């Protein structure tokens, strides 16, 4: 899991995943694990982006629906669906498809362009240009801050 | 004057000492209070213990370099020393000073972190005064003056060492005469220890020789070691038992370390040369229980002190014992010389004793096969006076926390303890909880394979057992005796009582009952409030009390006990009690309840009003209580602990508050219920009962009161909430395939229409029922896919308790009770008011835990409305078959003389006084000017067959009824009064239309008008 690659600490590694086809990444250091515990217990009256609770080896973990966080539809569970469990807060993110761990040179990580839409700015903090695709990097802080900014669903 | 240069608290050692100082402070307070209670005949043990506490505080302070702490504790020590030496009599003032010193010490400890200075000059001066006061009475004081507190590194040690030889035979390491005593000697060879029972016990000073290893083993298992005596006549001959039987009896309770006889000795042999049998047993039972099990009188069982034992059993103990015992008297060292002698010597001694036929009872040395079973009593001359002075547990006085508070003859039980971080225990406990759950999940899986491999079963059973025990033990770690909390109140009560010049004695029962520490902490505040209340409002002043033929000293007693898996704590006082009427009128005044409602309340309900929010009856806001936060806060706090509080009172005799508290918060027993495909847990403490209502019952019993659904359950109205609606289960449904949330609009419509019909004032049961049925149908339709709903279409109604209110929670299915581990909700779920947490079931599924008060709030349940409606129904019920005007305010008036009528005030808009000349007649109709328009007015005799209105009146009254499409009025001759009537209205075949019935009100026959009909008749008349 270390970011050592080749010539030192210049690399950062991201767990990549997809939401509605978009490639996203999350810093591997913020991820506890990735799993397929999709037996999610919904929590009534919780904010919209809360998909529910899962049992992660005896701990309850709150799963956020990454799709809703991004302003889209709630995720449809498929054989590809995964939870990315964050190290912080006992929170997981439900995503459509989990990809590889992508090592990126730090220089390649760019701040969000100024013209980025506000919705994206709500959950992302930077962007990486890969060979043939852009990868949006999710900000764990922004995601965890969601419950404070978004009003509860009545 | 913060202590600077003190050792860094972040270092382990420093904080350890601070923690110990804290413990000592905690120990000191109850002792000081007890000293005050007993005043002159105070137990010497008590003073000594207090002295030791302050002494080790001083020691700790000196070690850590806390100069202020050291100085103040030194002053306190000086005072205590005088008291101990009998040179100072305990008086309340002295205790006051000591207590305030204690408070300052506490402050100082708290201030260590912040570095804030704590001034303590006042206290020091107070102590000086106390010491000076008695200077002339007492002999010259050899103690160093208070002021010259040295700031050497170890001032305290030097100080106390200097004191000891002169002033006291017992410094910190010693016991005192008369206290419980229990001696342990050991012979240094052969790994044997000699246990000697106290002189003042049944056994006299009898010694038993046991294997050190046995003692060590027993102690490490937390067992107690007792000497036990069986009487020949009582225990052998009467029940026809042989020594073997006795041996087995005892062995069932624990390990026998020493036995007088050989197991196979016959009864006959025994009879020949002995009056009884002695043995030493190591067992986990406490002495009371042991005496019950063995059917022996309590005094024939003697507990050896554990710390003394551990000392005896430890390798290096020999030296330390002799050293520690040296100071008080010579005798311990004499005694200790005995162990030096070989076993032979001991057995010689033993036989010598036998030949003397002395006190200890018979010994059958001839039959001892094992040297360990020898019974070598000490020579009589060695013991006696000195014995009591060797208080071994105190040898470790530098280790606070091992000194227990209990006084009395019973020997102290001292258990070794370590300090553990609470977080660690919490984590450990969570893991244990998970272990239990994993075990539960594993069990069914294993069972599938167990048929093929039988070994799995036994493995599973082992795992089962170990898991349960781990869980139990870990829970046990968090348990703390409630006495710790209860004794804290002693101080509060004392101070408050003194402040108010009241005399109060405080008794505690069941201090050994244990509660989870979080629960204990949570109880502290509400109980403090209750105690203050009891002192302030409960107990009367001594003058009042003696005036009421009560003893001057009031009693506040607390009793804790286990019942039904919960801990009950009852606080009762013998004070003036609560006057329900006073409470009631206050509640009316504050608008908590309506006057009408108040009149129908029972005694108990009135007292319960005290728990209403914003309620405080204290006439004046005193310093002690009545700061606006009232009993409702207490109740909320208790309910947070999933507990329950109740109060009852007999005016003039006292008040009792009963609290029912769950043992622990982490694991609760919960009822699992289901709605749709979801399951939820409701903590058992909140569940009062579960009823099943078939669809037909539901239809019959469900109605609306004050906007909520209610059902009648055993003649009681119960607001009901459908969990399905409450949680918007339908709107919440996420399609598994599409991931879309589906909304059922039809359902919402039904809801909307339903809530619009608020028919509290008048009930049309038929109509209601129809509506209900309709709703029922709608519901059915929308629930058509609901497989879990019971076949009959009925519902389970879980009757949920919220405080002393109840509501019914309609659920569709019921599952088992489960023990669940509560997982708190994260911040992201703050909006979920209906849940108090989540849990993982045995099958691994996560479910939510429902929060009773949260649900009630979310559903906007108005208990007061339902309760008052309930009251109304009850009265109605009591007069079944007859109709009652339910306490409505009516206006009573007359038309013709001595013919009286009444209409409800609510049915009229206005009452006008007019003169006859204002009435204008147009044909058969009469008009009058009213608010710039002319309205038609009628006489009662126009509609109903009554005598006509008198025409010779100077003034008339016009009643304008409410609810008329065209304004008009009724002329009446005289208004008698407005009043509230409860009378039953009789109606018979002679009652004309327009009249509801008649009743006698204040000796008048009053006809109650049916305004509904009269308004209609009036409107008809106007239109035509």
What was the pLDDT predicted at B272? 65
Mean pLDDT, residues B834-855 taken together: 83
- State percent of chain B over pLDDT 70: 67
CB atoms within 10 A of CB B122: 12
Pick A60's closest partner by Cβ from B729, B739, B838.
B838
What was the pLDDT predicted at B905? 82
What was the pLDDT predicted at B1021? 79
CA atoms in the 13 A half-sphere facing the CB of B492: 20
Interchain contact, A153 vs B847, CB within 8 Å: no
Mean pLDDT, residues B251-263 taken together: 72
Interchain contact, B831 vs A152, CB within 8 Å: yes
**Residue B598 banded pLDDT, cuts 50, 70, 90:** confident
**Best of A60, A76, A86, A149 to mutate (most B CBs within 10 Å, chain B):** A60
CA B931 → CA B928, B934, B1019, distances in Å? 10, 8, 19
**Beta partners for residue B662, in sequence order:** B566
Token pair for B698 = 């539901």
Please provide the size of chain B in residues: 1024
CB atoms within 10 A of CB B836: 24
CA B257 to CA B278: how far, in whole Å? 11
Chain A residue numbers with beta carbons less than 8 Å from the beta carbon of B835 are 43-45
Token pair for B622 = 């005193």
**Beta partners for residue A91, in sequence order:** A62
Higher pLDDT, B849 or A107: B849
Pick A43's closest partner by Cβ from B736, B829, B844.
B829
Q: What is the pLDDT of residues B945-961, one digit of tens each?
A: 888 877 777 888 888 88
**Residue A141 banded pLDDT, cuts 50, 70, 90:** confident
**Beta partners for residue B278, in sequence order:** B229
Best-predicted range by mean pLDDT (B201-205, B404-408, B722-726)? B722-726
**Best of B436, B666, B730, B829 to mutate (most A CBs within 10 Å, chain A):** B829
Mean pLDDT, residues B901-911 taken together: 83
Mean pLDDT, residues B343-363 taken together: 40
Spatial CA neighbour of B685 closest among B549, B543, B565, B514: B565
What was the pLDDT predicted at B273? 59
Question: What rounded mean pLDDT belongs to chain B?
Answer: 69
Q: What is the pLDDT of residues A87-105, one digit of tens each?
A: 877 888 888 888 888 888 8
CA B944 to CA B102: how far, in whole Å? 85
Interchain contact, A45 vs B734, CB within 8 Å: no
Spatial CA neighbour of B577 closest among B614, B603, B546, B612: B603
What was the pLDDT predicted at B262? 64
Residues 6+ apart with CB under 8 A from B801: B644, B685, B686, B687, B688, B852
What is the least distance, in Å, from the CA of A114 to any CA of chain B? 29
What was the pLDDT predicted at B331? 36
Q: What is the pLDDT of residues B647-700, one digit of tens each?
A: 888 888 888 888 888 776 666 788 899 887 888 999 887 888 888 877 777 777
CA B365 to CA B373: how far, in whole Å? 9
**Best of A53, A63, A74, A90 to mutate (most B CBs within 10 Å, chain B):** A53
What was the pLDDT predicted at B874? 65
Secondary structure in 3-state letters for B552-598: CCEEEEEEEEEECCEEEEEEEECCCCCCHHHHHHHHHHCCCCCHHHH
Mean pLDDT, residues B726-741 taken together: 58
Pick B829's closest partner by Cβ from A55, A62, A74.
A62
Closest-CA residue in chain A for B824?
Answer: A60
Q: What is the DSSP code (8-state) at residue B917?
A: G
**Beta partners for residue B656, in sequence order:** B572, B648
What was the pLDDT predicted at B835? 86
Interchain contact, B846 vs A47, CB within 8 Å: no
**Residue B878 banded pLDDT, cuts 50, 70, 90:** low
Q: What is the pLDDT of residues B379-413, one digit of tens each?
A: 344 433 333 333 343 333 344 433 333 343 344 45
Higher pLDDT, B221 or B12: B221
CA B470 to CA B474: how far, in whole Å? 6
Please say if the pLDDT value at position B370 is more than 50. Answer: no
Chain A residue numbers with beta carbons less than 8 Å from the beta carbon of B674 are none
B831 near A CB under 8 A: yes
**Residue B322 banded pLDDT, cuts 50, 70, 90:** very low
Chain A residue numbers with beta carbons less than 8 Å from the beta carbon of B823 are 59-60
B846 near A CB under 8 A: yes
Secondary structure in 3-state letters for B271-301: HHHCCEEEEEEEECCCHHHHHHHCCCCHHHE
Q: What is the pLDDT of residues B742-755, one digit of tens each?
A: 443 333 333 333 33
Residues 6+ apart with CB under 8 A from B147: B124, B128
Please say if the pLDDT value at position B739 is more than 50. Answer: no
Q: What is the pLDDT of residues B287-309, one digit of tens each?
A: 777 777 777 777 777 777 766 66
Q: Please say whether the beta carbons of A28 and A13 come within 8 A.
A: yes
Chain B residue numbers with beta carbons less than 8 Å from the beta carbon of A89 are 826, 828
Helical spans, DSSP H, in B139-190: 155-167
Please say if the pLDDT value at position B72 is more than 60. Answer: yes
Q: What is the DSSP string of B469-524?
A: HHHHHHHHHHEEEHHHHHHHHHHHHHHHHHHTT--EEEEEE-TT-EEEHHHHHHHH
Residues 6+ apart with CB under 8 A from B435: B467, B470, B471
What was the pLDDT predicted at B426? 77
What is the least distance, in Å, from the CA of B729 to any CA of chain A? 7
Q: Please say whether the beta carbons of B424 and B329 come within 8 A.
A: no
Please say if the pLDDT value at position B628 is more than 50. Answer: no
Chain A residue numbers with beta carbons less than 8 Å from the beta carbon of B738 are 76
Token pair for B726 = 């409450």
Q: Please say whether the beta carbons of B74 and B58 come within 8 A.
A: yes
Higher pLDDT, B752 or B201: B201
Interchain contact, B728 vs A60, CB within 8 Å: no
Please provide the size of chain A in residues: 154
What was the pLDDT predicted at B513? 83
Element (H, E) at B567: strand B566-573
CB atoms within 10 A of CB B856: 24
Interchain contact, A76 vs B739, CB within 8 Å: yes
Lowest mean pLDDT among A135-144, B66-75, B223-232, B591-600: B591-600
Q: Please say whether the beta carbons of B989 and B907 come within 8 A.
A: no
What was the pLDDT predicted at B306? 66
Interchain contact, A45 vs B828, CB within 8 Å: no
Token pair for B10 = 């972040």
CA B76 to CA B74: how far, in whole Å? 5
CA B786 to CA B801: how far, in whole Å? 28
**Best of B846, B850, B857, B858 to mutate (most A CBs within 10 Å, chain A):** B846
What was the pLDDT predicted at B666? 63
What was the pLDDT predicted at B248? 75
Please say if the pLDDT value at position B763 is more than 50. Answer: no
**Residue B935 banded pLDDT, cuts 50, 70, 90:** confident
Q: What is the DSSP code (8-state) at residue B947?
A: P
Helical spans, DSSP H, in B590-686: 595-599, 603-608, 631-640
Spatial CA neighbour of B983 closest among B1014, B1005, B1011: B1005
What was the pLDDT predicted at B953? 76
Spatial CA neighbour of B168 closest among B286, B341, B57, B48: B48
What is the least distance, in Å, from the CA of A19 to any CA of chain B? 14
How buried is B431 (Cβ within 10 angstroms: 0-12 exposed, 13-18 middle, 19+ buried)? middle
Higher pLDDT, B49 or B847: B847
What was the pLDDT predicted at B409? 39
CA B626 to CA B635: how far, in whole Å? 15
What was the pLDDT predicted at B660? 84
**Residue B125 banded pLDDT, cuts 50, 70, 90:** confident
Dihedral pair phi/psi, residue A134, rounded to 5°: -100, 140
Token pair for B475 = 């829970």
CA B279 → CA B88, B184, B265, B282, B939, distances in Å? 45, 16, 14, 10, 105
Chain B residue numbers with beta carbons less than 8 Å from the beta carbon of A68 are none
CB atoms within 10 A of CB B789: 21
**Residue B565 banded pLDDT, cuts 50, 70, 90:** low
**Residue B759 banded pLDDT, cuts 50, 70, 90:** very low
Interchain contact, A46 vs B828, CB within 8 Å: yes
* Edge-to-edge strand ranges of the sheet holding B956-961: B908-914, B956-961, B968-972, B933-939, B925-930, B920-922
CA B611 to CA B638: how far, in whole Å? 12
Please report, for chain A, how many H helices and E strands are present, in that order: 4, 11
Q: What is the DSSP string of B210-277?
A: EEHHHHHHHHHTT-EEEEEEEEIIIIIITTT--HHHHHHHHHHHEEEEEESS-TT--HHHHHHH-SEE
Q: What is the pLDDT of residues B217-227, one digit of tens each?
A: 777 766 778 88
Q: What is the pLDDT of residues B151-182, one digit of tens each?
A: 444 344 344 344 333 343 333 333 334 333 34
Residues 6+ apart with CB under 8 A from B427: none
Pick A77's closest partner by Cβ from B438, B732, B739.
B739
**Best of A38, A43, A66, A76 to mutate (most B CBs within 10 Å, chain B):** A43
Chain A residue numbers with beta carbons less than 8 Å from the beta carbon of B727 are 44-45
Mean pLDDT, residues B32-52 taken together: 76
CA B868 → CA B11, B862, B865, distances in Å? 63, 10, 5
CA B290 to CA B287: how far, in whole Å? 5
Q: What is the pLDDT of residues B81-123, one digit of tens each?
A: 777 777 777 777 788 888 888 888 888 877 777 767 777 777 7
Q: Please say whether the beta carbons of B726 and B859 come within 8 A.
A: yes
Please say if the pLDDT value at position B989 is more than 50. Answer: yes
The residues of A whose Cβ lies within 8 A of any Cβ of B are 39, 41-47, 50, 52-55, 57-60, 62, 64, 73-77, 89-91, 144, 146-148, 152-153
């Amino acid at each position: 899991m270390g970011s050592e690659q080749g010539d030192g600490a210049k690399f950062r590694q991201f767990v990549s995943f997809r939401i509605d086809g978009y490639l996203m990444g999350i810093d591997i250091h913020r991820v506890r694990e990735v799993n397929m515990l999709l037996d999610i217990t919904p929590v009534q009256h919780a904010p919209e982006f809360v998909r529910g609770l899962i049992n992660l080896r005896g701990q309850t973990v709150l799963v956020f629906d990454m799709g809703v966080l991004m302003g889209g539809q709630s995720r449809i569970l498929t054989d590809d669906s995964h939870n990315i469990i964050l190290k912080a807060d006992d929170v997981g993110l439900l995503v459509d498809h989990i990809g590889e761990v992508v090592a990126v040179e730090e220089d390649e990580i760019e701040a969000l362009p100024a013209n980025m839409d506000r919705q994206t700015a709500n959950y992302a903090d930077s962007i990486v240009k890969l060979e043939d695709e852009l990868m949006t990097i999710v900000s764990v802080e922004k995601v965890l801050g969601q419950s404070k900014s978004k009003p509860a669903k009545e | 004057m913060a202590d600077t240069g003190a050792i860094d608290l972040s270092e382990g050692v420093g904080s350890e000492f601070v923690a110990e100082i804290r413990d000592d402070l905690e120990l000191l307070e109850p002792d000081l209070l007890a000293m005050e209670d007993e005043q002159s005949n105070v137990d010497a043990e008590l003073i000594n213990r207090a002295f030791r506490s302050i002494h080790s505080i001083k020691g700790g302070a000196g070690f850590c370099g806390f100069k202020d702490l050291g100085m103040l504790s030194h002053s306190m020590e000086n005072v205590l020393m005088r008291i101990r030496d009998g040179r100072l009599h305990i008086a309340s003032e002295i205790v006051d000073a000591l207590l305030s010193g204690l408070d300052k010490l506490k402050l100082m400890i708290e201030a260590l972190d912040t570095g804030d200075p704590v001034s303590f000059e006042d206290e020091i001066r107070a102590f000086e005064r106390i010491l000076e006061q008695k200077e002339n009475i007492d002999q010259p004081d050899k103690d160093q003056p208070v002021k010259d507190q040295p700031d050497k590194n170890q001032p305290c040690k030097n100080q106390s060492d200097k004191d000891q030889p002169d002033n006291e035979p017992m410094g910190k390491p010693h016991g005192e005469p008369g206290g419980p005593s229990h001696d342990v000697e050991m012979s240094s060879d052969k790994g044997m220890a000699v246990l000697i029972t106290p002189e003042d016990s049944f056994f006299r000073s009898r010694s038993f020789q046991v294997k050190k290893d046995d003692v060590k083993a027993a102690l490490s298992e937390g067992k107690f070691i007792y000497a036990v005596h069986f009487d020949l006549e009582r225990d052998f001959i009467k029940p026809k038992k042989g020594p073997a039987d006795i041996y087995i009896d005892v062995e069932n309770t624990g390990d026998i370390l020493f036995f007088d006889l050989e197991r196979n000795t016959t009864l006959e042999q025994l009879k020949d040369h002995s009056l009884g049998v002695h043995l030493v047993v190591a067992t986990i039972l406490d002495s009371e229980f042991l005496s019950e099990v063995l059917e022996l009188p309590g005094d024939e069982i003697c507990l050896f002190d554990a710390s003394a034992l551990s000392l005896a059993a430890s390798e290096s103990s020999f030296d330390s014992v002799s050293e520690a015992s040296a100071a008080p008297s010579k005798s311990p060292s004499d005694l200790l010389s005995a162990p030096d002698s070989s076993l032979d010597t001991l057995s010689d001694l033993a036989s010598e004793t036998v030949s003397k036929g002395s006190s200890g009872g018979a010994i059958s040395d001839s039959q001892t096969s094992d040297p360990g079973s020898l019974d070598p009593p000490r020579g009589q001359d060695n013991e006696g006076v000195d014995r009591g002075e060797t208080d071994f547990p105190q040898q470790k006085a530098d280790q606070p926390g091992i000194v227990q508070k209990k006084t009395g003859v019973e020997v102290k039980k001292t258990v070794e303890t370590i300090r553990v971080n609470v977080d660690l225990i919490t984590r450990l406990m969570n893991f244990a909880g998970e272990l239990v759950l994993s075990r539960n999940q594993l069990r069914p899986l294993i069972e599938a394979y167990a048929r093929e491999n039988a070994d799995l079963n036994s493995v599973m059973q082992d795992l089962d057992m170990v898991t349960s025990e781990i869980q139990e033990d870990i829970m046990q770690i968090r348990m703390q005796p409630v006495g710790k909390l209860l004794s804290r109140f002693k101080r509060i009560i004392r101070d408050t009582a003194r402040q108010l010049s009241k005399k109060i004695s405080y008794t505690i029962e069941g201090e050994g009952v244990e509660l989870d520490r979080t629960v204990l902490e949570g109880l502290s505040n509400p109980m403090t409030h209750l105690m203050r209340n009891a002192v302030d409002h409960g107990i009367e002043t001594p003058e009042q009390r003696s005036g009421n033929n009560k003893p001057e000293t009031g009693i506040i007693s607390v009793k804790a006990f286990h019942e039904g898996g919960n801990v009950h704590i009852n606080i009762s006082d013998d004070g003036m009690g609560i006057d329900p009427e006073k409470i009631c009128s206050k509640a009316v005044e504050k608008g908590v309840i309506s006057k009408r409602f108040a009149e129908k309340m029972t005694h108990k309900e009135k007292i319960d009003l005290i728990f209403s929010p914003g309620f405080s009856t204290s006439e004046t806001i005193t310093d002690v209580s009545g700061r606006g936060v009232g009993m409702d806060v207490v109740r909320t706090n208790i309910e947070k602990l999933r507990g329950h509080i109740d109060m009852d009172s007999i005016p003039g005799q006292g008040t009792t508050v009963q609290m029912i508290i769950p043992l622990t918060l982490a694991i609760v027993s919960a009822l699992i219920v289901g709605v749709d495909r979801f399951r939820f847990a409701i903590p058992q403490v909140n569940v009062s009962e579960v009823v099943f209502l078939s669809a037909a019952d539901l239809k019959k019993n469900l109605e609306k009161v004050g906007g909520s659904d209610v059902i009648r359950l055993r003649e009681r109205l119960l607001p009901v909430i459908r969990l399905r609606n409450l949680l918007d289960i339908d709107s919440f449904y996420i399609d598994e395939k599409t991931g879309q949330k589906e909304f059922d609009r039809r359902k919402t419509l039904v809801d909307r229409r339903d809530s619009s019909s608020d028919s509290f004032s008048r009930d049309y049961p038929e109509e209601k029922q129809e509506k209900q049925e309709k709703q029922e149908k709608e519901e059915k339709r929308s629930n058509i896919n609901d497989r879990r709903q019971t076949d009959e279409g009925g519902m389970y109604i879980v009757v949920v308790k919220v405080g002393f209110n109840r509501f019914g929670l309609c659920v569709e299915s019921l599952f088992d009770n489960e023990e669940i581990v509560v997982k708190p909700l994260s911040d992201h779920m703050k909006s979920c008011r209906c849940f108090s947490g989540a849990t993982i079931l045995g099958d691994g599924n996560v479910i939510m835990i429902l929060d009773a008060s949260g649900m009630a709030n979310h559903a906007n349940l108005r208990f007061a409305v339902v309760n008052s409606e309930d009251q109304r129904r009850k009265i109605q019920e009591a007069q079944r078959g007859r109709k009652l005007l339910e306490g409505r305010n009516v206006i009573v008036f007359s038309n013709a003389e001595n013919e009286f009528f009444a209409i409800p005030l609510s049915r009229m808009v206005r009452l006008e006084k007019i003169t006859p000349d204002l009435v204008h007649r147009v044909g058969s109709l009469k008009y009058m000017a009213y608010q710039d328009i002319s309205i038609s007015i009628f006489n009662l005799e126009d509609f109903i067959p009554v005598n006509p209105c008198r025409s010779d009146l100077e003034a008339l009254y016009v009643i304008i009824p409410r609810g008329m499409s065209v304004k008009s009025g009724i002329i009446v001759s005289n208004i008698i009064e407005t009043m509230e009537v409860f009378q039953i209205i009789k109606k018979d075949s002679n009652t004309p239309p327009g009249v509801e019935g008649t009743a006698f009100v204040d000796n008048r026959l009053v006809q109650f008008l049916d305004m509904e009909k009269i308004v209609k008749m009036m409107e008809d008349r106007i239109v035509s």
